[in-house]
């Protein structure tokens, strides 16, 4: 029985890491797409292409990856009885933050598609640092388990 649990654990862990990589890639790409989108002439064919690219990135990579990160993560935490671990609680706060950031990006993309451009390219470039900082903290929490 222990062998089955270990094998399942390794597959769940591999799946979790794979989809974290996909999700993070999308979280890095989408704000950059927004910068290029905002630099395009309003109503132009180029702007239409950016709207299409952003929608595809969200639909094909970003949202499915986020869902799978949560599915694999919850399965890992449950299977390994990690729910009482303080480091997991801290990790979950950061993952919830990234999930909220993801939702904000989706909403911002919809505003851009309607022609609204509330942020500057500089602010979008600064916001693009959020996933990297969160990922660094999450990796330390999971690997080092400081508490």
Could you read off the pLDDT of 95-116 as tens digits, one per residue?
Answer: 999 999 999 999 999 999 999 9
**What letter does residue 146 receive in the DSSP assignment?**
-
Confidence of residue 7 (pLDDT cuts 50, 70, 90): confident
Extents of the domains making up the chain = 2-144
The answer on pLDDT for 1 being more than 70 is no
| The two three-digit tokens of residue 120, written as one number | 């500057």
Q: Is 91 annotated as a binding residue?
A: yes
Asked if the model's pLDDT at residue 33 lies above 80, the reply is: yes
The pLDDT tens digits of the residues spanning 34-49 come to 999 999 999 999 999 9
The average pLDDT across 52-61 equals 98
15, 58, 63, 114, 130 from 133: Cα distances, Å: 22, 21, 20, 30, 5
Residue pLDDT, tens place only, 57-85: 999 999 999 999 999 999 999 989 999 99
Question: Does the annotation place 16 within a ligand binding site?
Answer: yes
Question: Considering only CA atoms, which of 21, 20, 27, 22 is closest in space to residue 106?
Answer: 27
C-alpha–C-alpha distance, residues 110 and 129, integer Å: 21
Taking residue 146's Cβ as centre, other Cβ atoms within 10 Å add up to 9
Q: What is the pTM of this model?
A: 0.93
């Amino acid at each position: 029985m222990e062998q089955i649990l270990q094998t399942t654990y390794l597959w769940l862990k591999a799946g979790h890491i794979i989809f974290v990589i996909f999700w993070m890639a999308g979280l890095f790409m989408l704000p950059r797409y927004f910068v290029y989108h905002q630099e395009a002439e309003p109503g132009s064919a180029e702007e239409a292409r950016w709207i299409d690219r952003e929608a595809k990135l969200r639909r094909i990579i970003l949202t499915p990856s986020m869902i799978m990160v949560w599915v694999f993560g919850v399965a890992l935490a449950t299977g390994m009885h990690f729910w009482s671990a303080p480091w997991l609680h801290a990790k979950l706060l950061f993952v919830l933050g990234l999930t909220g950031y993801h939702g904000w990006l989706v909403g911002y993309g919809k505003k851009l598609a309607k022609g609204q451009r509330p942020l500057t390219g500089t602010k979008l470039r600064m916001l693009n640092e959020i996933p990297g900082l969160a990922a660094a903290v999450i990796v330390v929490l999971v690997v080092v388990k400081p508490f």
